[in-house]
Amino acid sequence: MARITASVYTSHVPAIGVALDQGKTQEPYWQPLFAGYEYSKQWMKDNTPDVVFLVYNDHATNFSLELIPTFALGCAAEFPIADEGWGPRPLPTVQGHPELAAHIAQSVIQQDFDLTLCNAMKVDHGLTVPLSLMCDNPPMPGGAWPFKVIPFHVNVVQYPVPSGARCFALGQAIRRAVESFDQDLNVQIWGTGGMSHQLQGARAGLINKAWDNAFLDRLIADPAGLAQVPHIEYVREAGSEGIELVMWLIARGAMADVAGGPAPTLKHRFFHVPASNTAVGHLILENN
């Protein structure tokens, strides 16, 4: 049986990928941010999964305003690194897990979530920056990521976006799907994006540390309550792009305690302002 062993939550600020690729991680601006992920990189080496189910949003890179799936499951054998305007980042192609993805599609769609299935998809900073933060970038050419990845895109770019409650329920369906797969696989689920940030309009640059930290507290201890927060509160308190945080509720909904199991162990918590225009939050929760 496949099992979800842990969940990881992290922001996915594109400038973090640029800082890594240009060797700027020890510059005074970036050093405190990367220091917050040192524990995480070691934890990943000690707890390398077979597969990461990686919840993220595409930023009008693979999809466009011509076609906007609310929830899109990556079913392909591999996912190329997208060119976001400056050429693709020098990273290995992401290897998928088509068998597990097909099983999740069958199970989750039969649990009444209407997923879009993607048999070809390029992945942008929403997915690659979390990989870079959690793993040392593999040497190029020739390197490979240490696990397979099932990309799962959520529309948080074009309104209307899914509610926190729907995302939380979807996470529970994903857990049931993974646990009914008949191969022994160690699966992690990651939720990415956030924390508070607004890239546009009169409030561009908005950061709300108090709200972000209360979100982290509740994500750990009261996820079902947090899932009831309406999207207007995210937009008002965390900025127009702060709505990315609903994706963290998919990962949290897949944890064992939500289905009556034991509470997870908090292995790591980190919060830092600023990185680019964004508050960076990060958690690692292990199932018991």
User: Where does this chain bind ligand DHB (CB under 6 A)?
Assistant: 12-14, 59, 193, 197, 199, 241, 276-278
Kindly tell me which of 63 and 181 has the beta carbon lying closer to ligand DHB: 63
Residue 229 is classified by DSSP as S
- Shortest approach of ligand DHB to residue 95 CB, angstroms? 24
Strands lying side by side in the sheet with 71-74:
116-118, 71-74, 148-154, 51-56, 186-192, 3-10, 278-286, 265-275
Question: 103 an active-site residue?
Answer: no
> Which residue carries 């594109």 as its tokens?
14
- Shortest approach of ligand DHB to residue 148 CB, angstroms? 24
- Shortest approach of ligand DHB to residue 184 CB, angstroms? 35
Candidates 125, 153, 272, 282; catalytic one: 125
- Asked if residue 229 lies in contact with residue 249, where contact means CB atoms within 8 angstroms, the answer is no
Kindly tell me which of 14 and 264 has the beta carbon lying closer to ligand DHB: 14
- Shortest approach of ligand DHB to residue 241 CB, angstroms? 6
Candidates 59, 103, 153, 197; catalytic one: 197
CA distance 279 to 119: 33
Question: 268 an active-site residue?
Answer: no
Kindly tell me which of 59 and 272 has the beta carbon lying closer to ligand DHB: 59
Inter-residue long-range contacts of 109-115, CB under 8 Å, 24+ positions, other chains counted: 111/173, 111/176, 111/177, 113/71, 113/170, 113/173, 114/70, 114/71, 115/71, 115/72, 115/73
Residue nearest to ligand DHB (CB): 276
CA distance 127 to 278: 16
Kindly tell me which of 118 and 207 has the beta carbon lying closer to ligand DHB: 207
Kindly tell me which of 62 and 277 has the beta carbon lying closer to ligand DHB: 277
- Shortest approach of ligand DHB to residue 281 CB, angstroms? 12
> Looking at the annotation, which residues are catalytic?
125, 197
